[in-house]
Structure 1
């Protein structure tokens, strides 16, 4: 996948996921939390299943290996279903800013699971530095005060559990090594996520009779179902397949920045003075991590490529004559 397309997927996932926290907080005024997330998955599933049926052949749609099945289960039950159920429930007692902070721990949690499950996924020293700079940027953007973080302790614990399941689910998807495309895998996973969260909603005693059908509520549902649902999932899981979970989950560092800008543009919320420095720190963290894939030697004057050698999986090999 070209670097331009990877960048496009990262930007799309960051922007669309960034609006999720604001839309969820707004929608919780009109929907019970678990029913809200279940309806989100209903809408996203209809949209994405219809899309893949129209654009993919039958051979491309059918899972054939154990890896395909594990990848579908990890996508629907963990990375999407349980993660979002915990997010929607946790945001009942936590602000959008706090939720964004907690979920920005996802990139820190991901290397822990990757070290256990993926022999090829390791966080380098440069990657650790970039990750630390990015996390500093998140703190500067949100500018949390102790009083804000002290409130809603249970909500933060639930949100942290959601960050854990998101990180573990993304690593498990990579470990499964599915042959299905990411879009098809998500199309299979969304009905599983919908069934799971409808079951949670029923078990919690939620009722559709308590839903307040209003234009703001419907707009929030449409956003989390279509834009932050079907479209964002195509972008994020495509990025996951292209770059691996450690790099893909870095989009959650940008989410608080997007949420802050969205609140300023749409809700007339003030941007703290430290936010600009935070935006720059997040960008610097991405630049440090991204520089690992750039051969700086190619930039020096007089550089000539070595036509007698090539690289496979980080190993330099020489061409051999027939």
Structure 2
């Protein structure tokens, strides 16, 4: 495994772990904050932290957008991929259970290839990729194991969550489509104030009041987690992964999130992990293995086994593994 793959794997793990903890922190924080205002304050905290980090670690010439593609990437990040997506997630969770929310939001990786096929020429899902994604989704269903009656009820909440999943998938593809010369960290740092502004406007429109906030220690802890860890740090990892691996692969992180949430609930909230959930963990892993198996160059391996030279084989291709490029 080369250095670039190790960095991508590390970013995937960081984003999955920190995003997974969001469900636990959000559940705790919503007891003290109105939902949209909670999201808005989360992005206020994340924006201040990430803008400061970008200013300290980036050369001044690389800190500001210079082209329309830079501006488009910032708006796709802040308004679509972060702002609208998270506002819909937090509001939708008020109308349904966390298990159902996890199922609906796990449609994100399935929706992403649909948008990618329309907007991106270099990202296509192969048949093996389709099979791996289907296994991953089945694994998520096993992990969260929602009650069938609950899954069929709550149409409004599911519709809101599905719209959020669509927004997240579309936003990630739009970022790749926009391109631009900004680093993922700088682009996200500029995008977060737009996300915060969107959520503050949504909060005002919904009639939420800052007076409804209860500033208990638990509220501060929840806001700190979702703002700094699941906000600034996780977004650095996720959007860096998006640039390095593409929208389809990066959004597979949303199959890891329910696993992390289940383990976190077991470790911190004394929730039970069922045998079916353990099987679900394994199924998600198998799905990832199926997608990643196309990175194994079988013709080259066979050639070496029979004692031939692999120099004549095209083993240096940069085509994304598990996907078909034009």
Please confirm whether the aligned pair reaches a TM-score higher than 0.5, indicating the same fold.
yes
Q: 2:287 aligns with which of 280, 285, 306?
A: 285
Please say if residues 21 and 99 of structure 1, whose CA atoms lie closer than 8 Å, have aligned partners that are also in contact. Answer: no
Q: Is the 8 A contact 2:300 2:315 kept in 1?
A: no
TM-score under structure 1 normalisation? 0.94
Equivalent residues of 1:25, 1:95 under 8 A apart: no
The correspondence of residues 99-114 of structure 1 with structure 2, limited to 5 A, is: 99-114=101-116
> Which residue of 199, 203, 206 corresponds with 2:205?
203
Q: Identify the residue that residue 82 of structure 1 maps to in structure 2.
A: 84
Check whether the contact 2:176–2:243 (CA below 8 A) recurs between aligned residues. Answer: yes
- Summarize the alignment of residues 42-81 of structure 1 with structure 2, pairs less than 5 Å apart: 42-81=44-83
Q: Structure 1 residues 63 and 212 mapped into 2: Cα distance closer, same or farther (>3 Å)?
A: same
Q: 1:306 aligns with which of 306, 311, 314?
A: 311
* Change in CA separation of 1:175 and 1:303 when aligned onto 2, cut-off 3 Å: farther
Give the corresponding residue for 2:324: none
Shift of 1:222: 0.8
**In structure 1, distance between residues paired with 2:300 and 2:235:** 35
- 8 Å Cα contact 1:23/1:224 also seen in 2: yes
**In 2: Cα distance, 1:243 partner to 1:176 partner:** 16
**1:305 CA drift (Å):** 3.1
Give the Cα separation in 2 of the matches to 1:303 and 1:42: 59
Segments of 4+ moved more than 2 angstroms:
150-153, 296-305, 307-314
Distance 1:253 1:186 in 2: 22
Unaligned runs of 5+ in 1: 315-322
Moved more, 33-42 or 88-97: 88-97
Counterpart selection for 1:179 from 171, 178, 181 = 181
Q: Deviations over 1:94-147 (max 9, x none)?
A: 222221111111000001101111111111011001101111111111112212
Answering whether residue 7 of structure 2 is matched by residue 2 of structure 1, we say no
- 2:21 and 2:267 map into 1 onto residues whose CA distance is 12
> Contact 2:99 / 2:145 at 8 angstroms: preserved in 1?
no
- 2:13 and 2:260 map into 1 onto residues whose CA distance is 10
Query: Taking structure 1 as reference, are residues 312 and 4 closer, same or farther at Cα in structure 2, changes over 3 Å only?
Result: closer
Kept in 1, the 8 Å contact 2:30–2:38? The answer is yes
- Residue 284 of structure 1: how far off its partner (Å): 0.7
Distance of 2:141 and 2:318 partners within structure 1: 36
| Structure 2 gap ranges (5+) | 320-326
Q: Secondary structure at the match of 2:192?
A: helix
| C-alpha separation in 1, matches of 2:290 and 2:308 | 23
The alpha-carbon distance between structure 1 residues 57 and 209, as it changes in their structure 2 partners (threshold 3 A), is: same
Instruction: Give the aligned partner of residue 323 of structure 2.
Output: none
Q: In the alignment, what sits opposite 2:170?
A: 168
Alignment match, 1:159: 161
Contact kept in structure 2, 1:143 and 1:272, CA below 8 Å = no
TM-score when scaled to structure 2?
A: 0.93
Aligned counterpart, 1:216: 218
